[in-house]
Amino acid sequence: MTPTTFPSFSEEDIRATRPEMKIGLLASLTPEGLPHVTLLSSLMACGEKEMCFGQFTEGTSKKNILLSPKVGFLIMGLDRTLWRGKAIYTRYAKEGPEYDHYNNVPMFRYNAYFGVHTVYYFDLVEHTGRHPLPMGQIIPAALVTMLARTLGRKSRGEAVLNPWTRAFFDKIDNLKFLAWVGADGFPRLVPAIQAQSLDARRIIFSPSVYADELAEIPVGAPLAVFGMALTMEDVLARGVYRGLRRVGGLRVGLVEVDWVYNPMPPVPGQIFPPLELKPVTDF
């Protein structure tokens, strides 16, 4: 069932998305039109029809939204309730009430090395409303995925996912999310905590959670898989969605990964394919 959507945030939504201790994800489009996911804990509703986040490090998402303003978002609180939706980037500011708010929260106010220097604003298109993470469905889905991973035939091709990345995706209590581009051109974000690596080239997931939404992903579409731990470690993989397959006799969604990215500061960057090292010639 497609989730019910709302065109504006309530006062309770605005209050609930304001705390700094939460998970905020922004799905943007690369210049090639591929889905990209960034962890932005400062992401929040700042008005009935407006969202914002504060920038304190450089990164790919900031460049992406300047080129393509359509984004998808997900905000999840510590109580495992979340909001998901679509928005359109409109402007940025280097002063104002949100700028003051960000630089007065403890994370930035008492940080000697960096503070928020720019606030980015978005017009809300729609959101799903506050709803709980369906843990009663996620746990069985994770067990099915684990069994498929154990029983499934492994590929012996070139390793795309290194051992650290595989172990990170396979850890059951790490969070995982899928992102793809919808038919309307907006990136979509769906939790997929059950996702795990099948081998060093493929990621699989049971489709039993958010099943109707996952069924909308076109076979052959670019699909991003974002993994994160509550220790703020994260990794982004992207590849081609091969649809629902039988792996180890079990029905799972399968992604053939061809690109891996380290989003973590201080130096975010591409992991696979490996980039050629070039000498520094301009000092």
Its pTM stands at 0.93
- Residues shown for the chain: 283
Within 10 angstroms of residue 93's Cβ, the number of other Cβ atoms is 13
pLDDT-flagged residues of the chain (< 50): 112-113
| CATH of segment(s) 134-269 | 2.30.110.10
CATH 2.30.110.10 domain position(s) in the chain: 11-131, 134-269
The pLDDT assigned to 112 comes to: 43
User: What does the pLDDT look like over 138-187, one tens digit per residue?
Assistant: 999 999 999 999 999 998 888 999 999 999 999 999 999 999 999 999 99
Residues 98 and 54: beta-carbon distance below 8 Å: yes
CATH T-level assignment (fold) for domain 11-131: Pnp Oxidase; Chain A (2.30.110)
In 3D, which of 82, 76, 107, 79 has the Cα closest to residue 3?
82
- Cα–Cα distances (Å) from 25 to 50, 68, 84, 228, in that order, read 16, 17, 9, 11
Residues 37 and 224: beta-carbon distance below 8 Å: yes
The pLDDT assigned to 283 comes to: 63
The pLDDT assigned to 119 comes to: 92
In 3D, which of 28, 262, 275, 35 has the Cα closest to residue 164?
262
The pLDDT assigned to 136 comes to: 96
Tokens 């079990």 belong to: 250
The pLDDT assigned to 20 comes to: 83
